[in-house]
Structure 1
């Protein structure tokens, strides 16, 4: 496995791969890797002949300085996991390399979707995400890029950006990888105490209760969301939001919409957890 930090070295290696006709699959990460990230790498292996993984803790997508400072940097361990997982190249740029002027002199924004849900809770977050992913796409120029569906809104944002900018990159989403109790794997799970970890699956359980109610033909969406917020409080969380949205554009679901996603975010101690469950409702048929 090759590890490069300099842009020139990255381009030189990728140039030789393209000349040899390799199909390049890309997995962007912020490091502190877990089994969910390795699942992305395995999927990338199935889609391409060479797998590039980036490890970059992107400062511009953090809305709180203390969160950026606390984010775990585990580069040596991450590289060991990636080598075992079959990555071919790891790109490990520094903030000074990615942002030579010290910040976002040029910004890539995806209006609309970037202002909803996570965007409303974390101002500026998605501008940082779309800008850094656009820059990484430009540097790597992959044929395909793989993202996890746990960050559902982020995945939709990336797909929109790729469509709008006519990038010749296939975006592949991988279903959320979970612990045995249902907790979505996340680097932020490491912030949980032992006691909090025992409660953490309550977020997924709450979303599942909403999904079950929808499948039972409940259509009072606002009431369902309010009940879910109270359920999270009773399970020890400080809820941020629980929303029933359309998968096509993440706008609030209306009666008659079939393809939906239930999304939630809540604090548990120092950890802010997010999760989602997509679903398709059966179309109601009229009877005479």
Structure 2
């Protein structure tokens, strides 16, 4: 069975999607539709902009979403997925390719998500840190021990790689304790806020309204969602999990393990970069990985 997986924010690069635009009439049509929906030519920034322009909040998340979804939709029929999953932002891409969301609605939600997250970051500063070579359970135990500050395991990416998130004081204190507990590295990340932590509650509440006003359909294949790492086909469950996602952990390791347990033998990364292929291989070296 074939699993399509979709990357999140951080995978972007200047030039992404230009080959699709130039060589596929479908891709060109979808990119132009996106320009119209967003009200600015995101393609100009994606194809010929600067790194700084591409890092703008209103650009980054829609850009990764567009490259991911359009690359999957332009794939040949024999490479359609039996299951999908996306890392953080990538979950929206997974929902569109699984036909739980329309392309247009998916893009609108991604843009709303980006702007809501930016506002939450400005209202309550926070940060994130990568913890290398420490057991997931130990990371979560240390995060839970930080009194008076917000600190949680935000991204459980693969064995030995967890990203924590929270207030600056909480994450800095946790990093000290992680090193004392044997972590090889505890490195603060250059990010704009405490993603996938309780500090994103204002963004979650704002996005909840947008999600509840969007039509979801039963997907054509199971979607393994971040919050619980299990397969979902109920539109009601999918919406509830998507609403919870912004303040919950991305359980990527368990998602991949569950997809493999349910029959996935090949993982196809749709979108910019190859980060997810590397994570999948670290989770299980026996499965095949490739990018579109």
TM-score (norm 2): 0.31
Structure 1 or 2: larger helix share? 2
TM-score (norm 1): 0.31
Structure with bigger RCO (C-alpha 8 Å, 6+ apart): 2
Larger Rg computed on CA atoms? 1
